[in-house]
Amino acid sequence: MQDMSAYALDGRTAIVTGSGSGIGRGTALEMANAGAHIVVAELQQDAADETAAMIRALGRRALVVATDVTSVESVENMVAAAVHEFGGVDILVNNVGGLGPKPKKTTITELEIDEWESLLRLNLTSQFICCKAFITLLLRSDRRGVIVNIASLAALVPYETSVVYGAAKAGVVSMTQTLAAEYGKRGVRVNCIAPGHVRTPIPEALYQGREELRAAQNRIIPVGRWCEPEELGRLAVFLASDASSYVTGQTIVASGGMTYFLTKVH
Ligand SMILES: NC(=O)c1ccc[n+]([C@@H]2O[C@H](COP(=O)([O-])OP(=O)(O)OC[C@H]3O[C@@H](n4cnc5c(N)ncnc54)[C@H](O)[C@@H]3O)[C@@H](O)[C@H]2O)c1
């Protein structure tokens, strides 16, 4: 008889940051499908409640915690709430990030220092804050743990007009390697996903009415289309499960085979 239990997350608890939308929601739902209970750590209450309802419809428990991942205090409170509800946490998915609420052209000469610092905080410092809180929790107990960081293909190839985004995501790749090396012997695995184009609300809006650009983009993607959030969610499930027990410190590129960005889009 086949035994697929290594691929399952039965009974585990996963914090998924920014799981009110896009890749975070897709990951939360796929992890719930695989058997995990989910902490929806999200800034927007309504979006978080919607995700929680979807998780409960799959028969798993969901805890919504209003969280700002750029704040140490907020993240520590969220982790404490997760422990209070579930008794511990096994998985952290560091998903929050992006180009900010108003994505715009940002070559180095146009980028102000406060915009640089704010996008660095959203994309890199937030993951440091969450990793620190989670690893501190694991070290206080005898639990093993898994971290999945979300970076971007922009960490690995140039993405015009996005100097801070690429730099921050490259930092995520590096932090993944360092934490994997530092905590591997303690039973903590840390991996990273670098997505290409994913069909989530902000990039969809950037391409709205620019069908020629979208078609050109699809031509340089070997699989010929954008990624669905759930497809990344299933990769995150694999990285969080015992099926990937000998994989750590790695960045998995999920770009449909795309190896460079075509052009600037904002
Ligand atoms: N969509 C893509 O094409 C793409 C490509 C490569 C990498 N990524 C990365 O994937 C991740 C998710 O992207 P997405 O497109 O799904 O984003 P999204 O904007 O659809 O979702 C992000 C979620 O995070 C929440 N959020 C924002 N700031 C927060 C904060 N400070 N604290 C807590 N929650 C916060 C938002 O409310 C939202 O629900 C990001 O790190 C992004 O850089 C996305």
Residue pLDDT, tens place only, 51-60: 999 999 999 9
Residue 264 lies in a domain: no
Closest ligand 1 atom to residue 44 Cα is: 37
pLDDT per position as a tens digit, 199-235: 999 888 888 899 998 999 899 999 999 999 999 999 9
71-123 tens-digit pLDDT: 999 999 999 999 999 999 999 999 999 998 776 767 899 999 999 999 999 99
User: How many Cβ atoms sit within 10 Å of the Cβ of residue 246?
Assistant: 7
Ligand 1, atom 30, lies closest to the CA of 68
* Enclosing domain of residue 179: 10-199+228-253
Residue 4 placed within a domain: no
User: Which residues line ligand 1 at a C-beta cut-off of 6 Å?
Assistant: 17-18, 20-24, 42-44, 47, 67-70, 95-98, 150, 152, 195, 197-198, 200-203
82 within some domain: yes
Check whether 260 has a pLDDT greater than 60.
yes
Is residue 155 domain-resident? yes
* DSSP 8-state class, residue 121: I
Which residue puts its alpha carbon closest to atom 26 of ligand 1? Answer: 18
Position 122 in a domain = yes
Compute the distance from residue 99 Cα to the ligand 1 centre, in Å: 9
Measure the CA–CA gap between 191 and 177, rounded to whole angstroms. 8
Please compute the mean of the pLDDT values over residues 254-263 and round it to a whole number: 88
CATH of the domain at 52: 3.40.50.720
Tracing tokens 């070559």 back to the chain, one arrives at 107
Indicate the pLDDT class of residue 266, thresholds 50, 70 and 90.
very low
**Distance separating alpha carbons of residues 39 and 28, to the nearest angstrom:** 9
**DSSP H stretches of helix in 58-157:** 72-86, 113-120, 126-140
> Could you give the 3-state DSSP secondary structure of residue 149?
strand
Count of domains for the chain? 1
Looking at the predicted structure, is the pLDDT value of residue 128 above 50?
Answer: yes
CA of 96 to the centre of ligand 1 (A): 5
Query: Which ligand 1 atom sits nearest the alpha carbon of residue 154?
Result: 6
In a domain, 208, yes or no: no
Residue 36 placed within a domain: yes
Looking at the domain assignment, is residue 130 inside a domain? yes
- Which residue in the list 159, 165, 246, 260 is annotated as catalytic? 165
Active site residue 246: no
Q: For the segment 145-200, what is each residue's pLDDT rounded down to a tens digit?
A: 999 999 999 999 998 878 999 999 999 999 999 999 999 999 999 999 999 999 99
CA distances from 28 to 140, 189, 261 (A): 26, 19, 28
